[in-house]
Amino acid sequence: MDQIQVEIAALKSQIQVLQQERAALTINNIIDENDSPLAIVEAYRSQARENPQLSAELKGIDDAVAALELQLQQKQGQLARWEIESKQLTQQQQLEEAKKVAQVHAQRINQLAAELATEIRLLKACADQLSPIYWQVYYKPFITGFKTISVPYVRSDGEVWTIVNRIV
């Protein structure tokens, strides 16, 4: 990117030098502002006939400026494309970083879900052990709802992540 910017600056500088050189070579005092359009055309043609070397040099400068301006446009287009690609790369990098952070959180959720599932199973074992006695004393269950207890779990098919509830 820096190289392209340096090349663009060099092209602009060279174009400016050529335009200044052309302005110095051009003789603008051959016409009067009151001259007719036909008189102006004739004055320039006469100047070109009288000094063909100067005309050729001016033509060469004009051609060089046109070629450099074309190169400048190409370099500016290259720079614009590079900036767009760079921005996309930056977005891709941001996406990858965000995915890494999300993966850490997903792993932690799955770890906590596994611990919670273990605790729920241990609680169910206690409830299964206490329920018969609890029914005898209080005429109701000790704990209910074990068939619908679920814990969140994060899974991925590689592209899409899904949070599902696993029944414990």
Please write the tens of the pLDDT for every residue from 68-122: 999 999 999 988 888 888 888 788 888 888 889 999 999 999 999 999 999 999 9
Residue 70, pLDDT score:
94
pTM greater than 0.85 (yes/no): no
Token digits for 18?
Answer: 């050529």
pLDDT score recorded for residue 64: 94
Domain ranges of the chain: 2-167
Query: pLDDT averaged over the chain?
Result: 87
DSSP sequence for 2-34: HHHHHHHHHHHHHHHHHHHHHHHH--GGGS-TT
What's the confidence (pLDDT) of residue 50?
Answer: 80
Q: What is the pLDDT of residue 145?
A: 83
SS3 helix, strand, coil % of the chain, rounded to 5? 80, 10, 15
